Structure 1
Amino acid sequence: MQAVDLSTHPGHLARRLQQAHHLMWNTMVSQETTSPQFAVLNALTAEPGLDQRTVGERVGLDRSTIAEVVSRLLRRELLDKVRDPRDGRRFQLRLTDEGVRTHRRLALRTVRMNQVFLGPLSAGEQRTLLDLMHRVSEAAETLRAPEETR
């Protein structure tokens, strides 16, 4: 049997892109705040007061991952967790003042990192790549196990 040409395997290419993104994130954005943590801060900047499950849905993280990310952000005092006045079983998440400052600082850095990351592509190619990535990601979301989507 011959070796497989991994350059035709989307999973292999996605992993290589993720490795490149991780390296760029650590050098250009933050070694302290991960990309998923930033995504949570960003979601709560857009929609303050969401509960943990909804934040996870917004940023595409499963239940166990969002729980760990939120726990770390709470320990770093970038988030506050308050009981929902309309539903005592539910907790709302909000950015602390330090969380707002962290988000603002990192948001500016992500703009520059994305310019470098996508720099080899023309503006049209960048739009096409992002559109295709959105389509594949959204289709993949439908493949999640039913218990993860509840």
Structure 2
Amino acid sequence: MATSTDTTASAISLDLYDQPGHLIRRAHQISVSMFHELLGREVTPVQYSVLRMLHELPGLDQVTLAQRVGLDTSTTADIAVRLEAKGWIVREVLPRRQRRLLLTPEGEKLLVQFTPAVNALSHGLLDGMGEEDAQQLLRLLRKFVHLNNDQSRAPLRSSTDDTASG
């Protein structure tokens, strides 16, 4: 018969380094560290995501932008203020107090300058894994994000279907 001590021990017997949450947190730490190593600290990974989305879909309003990059609207508004202060975007007021966001020429120039480092980052994060493992990791990460999207504080939303594509 199992005692409560046995039950407790078995419940926490999974090695910390085998727990998905711990591994995802560590992977995020590593990714952010490598981002700053290659791109500096002028822009954060989240700010870069916002700039990239505005490059891909110019003129998005803040709410749609937040949905497209998986941020809450207040965080997106704070980021927009910072990016505008740096001269990388402009915010235009639309009816009903929405704001349309556009990259400035300086913002476009920054993205062009960052492209080689971002490509190096993408390769560096997967370096040593081999092509098949790297593609499998990306496929599984996309699947994980898709399956758990609604658990996020700020679920990713696209224009084609109200969920992240996976």
Q: Which residue of 2 aligns with 1:116?
A: 124
Query: Which residues of structure 1 form unaligned runs of 5+?
Result: none
**Matched residues, percent identical?**
29
Per the alignment, in what secondary structure is the counterpart of residue 120 of structure 1? coil
Q: Residue 66 of structure 1 aligns with which residue?
A: 76
Q: Tell me how far apart the structure 1 counterparts of residues 155 and 56 of structure 2 sit (CA, whole Å).
A: 27
TM-score (norm 1): 0.88
Alignment equivalent of 1:23, drawn from 15, 20, 33: 33
Residue among 143, 160, 163 paired with 1:135: 143
Equivalent position to 1:11, from 18, 21, 24 = 21
CA 1:141–1:128 in structure 2 vs 1: closer, same or farther (change >3 Å)?
Answer: same
Contact 1:62–1:148 (CA<8 Å) still a contact in 2? Answer: no
Q: Structure 2 length normalisation: TM-score?
A: 0.80
Does the CA contact (< 8 Å) of 1:81 and 1:93 recur in 2? yes
Q: CA deviation at 1:67?
A: 1.9
Change (3 A) 1:123 1:38: same
> Which of the pair has more CA radius of gyration?
2
CA contact (8 A) 1:63 1:148 kept: no
Secondary structure class of the residue paired with 1:142: helix
Count of residues paired in the alignment: 147
Q: Which runs of 5+ in 2 are unaligned?
A: 1-8, 158-166
| C-alpha RMSD of matched pairs (Å) | 2.2
